[in-house]
Amino acid sequence: MDHASETGDAGGDDYSGPKSPLRVMQIVELLAASSSGLSLAAMTEALQIPKTSLLNHLRVMVAAGYVSSRDARYTLGAASLRLGAIIAADAGVLAAWRPVALDLVAQTGETAMLATLDDRSAEALYIDVVDSDQDIRYSPRVGSRWPLYCTGMGRALLAFQEPVFIDSYLASTRTVERTEITVTGVARLRRIIAGIRSAGVVVTQGEHTVGAGAVAAPIIERDGRVRCAIGIGVPIGRLGPRRDALIKLVADAARRVSWTLGGHGTSPVPLTTTVTTPPPHEARQRAARSSPMPRAAAPPRGHQ
């Protein structure tokens, strides 16, 4: 590829369209502004791109579903519309979550976290974090990906997906013992998921990272889907004494964000019946005196 193609210079019929992100985005932006579509000639004039080069771009984009062609006119394709919806949804969630996150940090003194479900990797992707002022705090990096099965944010996302997704995930995911109390058995994870769906909130203690806990809840959007979860990261030493209060604050925060997005929040069961995973010392005692897979009378506490 020549230098002009690399930098997105508009000149030259030999320009390699499929390898030019700038040209592709210019085409998408132009078509997004035209509800009735545009002809090749109109697009060539508007973008000042040679017709043969533009046609090469369009052929690739039509084949990939990002552009649609009918009656010699081009419009945005389904793939572009889907991308726009995803971007808009994430932007909406971030705008709705930020003021709530600041309140949550002020009320709890802990780091607030926002994660979304990455369907392709089946992981929780952290998209925003508001750090607490504590000297010792739990603070995941924005852009990091965490397992669904053993983290609070991950379980809050997993529990509210369609049954087919949950079944596929549990059948295909290699569950690893991140710590000595990580729950890896499919049967117990199913009980945990059922408990989370009932309680509407998740509490985890040391299953992914020793000494780190989390309280998390799903954000339920207008269409009833759960694409994001809100939560706080808490050192276990500060979680136990304030457990019930933190559960209420996180659940309320999730309801506020859900409402702002036109959806609704879950209604947690009474706090005395909220299900969680056992604290580390209880888990060790159970493991020492019982079977390799500890019985979970009630789906676990939550998680991270």
Domain locations along the chain: 3-76, 85-289
Q: Assess whether the region 3-76 and the region 85-289 belong to the same CATH fold.
A: no
- What percentage of the chain exceeds 70 in pLDDT? 79
CA distance 20 to 302: 45
Q: What is the fold, at CATH topology level, of the domain defined by 85-289?
A: Beta-Lactamase (3.30.450)
Q: Among the listed ranges 12-26, 123-137, 282-296, which one has the minimum average pLDDT value?
A: 282-296
β-bridge mates for residue 117, sequence order: 124
- Estimate the crossing angle of helix 21-32 against helix 51-64, to 10 degrees: 80
Mean pLDDT within 206-223: 90
The CATH architecture of the domain made up of 3-76 is Orthogonal Bundle (1.10)
CB atoms within 10 A of CB 46: 14
Q: What is the pTM of this model?
A: 0.62
Model pLDDT, residue 104: 95
236 exposure class (CB count in 10 Å sphere: 0-12, 13-18, 19+): middle
Q: Is the dihedral of CA 175, 184, 208, 124 positive or negative?
A: positive
**Residue 73 exposure: Cα atoms within 13 Å on the Cβ side:** 8
CA distance 218 to 114: 10
Element holding 191 (H helix, E strand): helix 186-199
Highest mean pLDDT among 249-258, 260-269, 279-288: 249-258
Cβ-based neighbours of 154, under 8 Å, separated by 6 or more: 115, 123, 124, 146, 147, 148, 303, 304
